[in-house]
């Protein structure tokens, strides 16, 4: 299993340009997440998906769009990049990891990240 992969690993954009980040997982997970990581801010959730064809907003969704046309893929789009979107982007998928208090517990599996610079 490749686990969670992200494409590309690095990208430099000019303000106003658009791009799409691809996340792929081969673990047949229903849930997938997109985070951004900035110095001193930890991880912040951008958007997430609870299954094929579904998406939902996270903590910082503005300026981003997502799509989950296939279960294994979760795409993050920037329509008009801004310098404030310079960050490292991580994708994660979620799978079961046993029981917690009689309920199913879950664990996140992360991709290697995409480092995006917007000039």
Partner 1 sequence: GDSVTQMEGPVTLSEEAFLTINCTYTATGYPSLFWYVQYPGEGLQLLLKATKADDKGSNKGFEATYRKETTSFHLEKGSVQVSDSAVYFCALGLTGNQFYFGTGTSLTVIP
CB of 107 to partner 1, least distance (A): 7
Measured CA distances, 16 to 8, 13, 90 (Å): 19, 8, 22
CB of 23 to partner 1, least distance (A): 11
Residue (41 or 82) nearer to partner 1, CB: 41
Which helix (DSSP H) or strand (DSSP E) does residue 38 occupy?
Answer: strand 31-38
Residue (56 or 82) nearer to partner 1, CB: 56
Measured CA distances, 92 to 10, 37, 38, 41, 83 (Å): 18, 13, 17, 18, 24
Residues 53-112 that bind partner 1 (CB under 8 A): 90, 92, 94, 97-112
Residues contacting partner 1: total by CB under 8 A: 27
Among 11, 43, 61, 71, interactor with partner 1 by CB under 8 A: 43
């Amino acid at each position: 299993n490749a686990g969670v992969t992200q494409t590309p690993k690095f990208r430099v954009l000019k303000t106003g340009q658009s791009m799409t980040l691809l996340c792929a997982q081969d673990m047949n997970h229903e849930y997938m997440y997109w985070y951004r990581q900035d110095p001193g801010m930890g991880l912040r959730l951008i958007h997430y998906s609870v299954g094929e064809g579904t998406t939902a907003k996270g903590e910082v969704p503005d300026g981003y769009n997502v799509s989950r046309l296939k279960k294994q893929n979760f795409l993050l789009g920037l329509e008009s990049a801004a310098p404030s979107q310079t960050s490292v982007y991580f994708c994660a998928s979620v799978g079961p990891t046993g029981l917690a208090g009689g309920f199913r517990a879950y664990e996140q599996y992360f991709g290697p990240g995409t480092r995006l610079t917007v000039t």
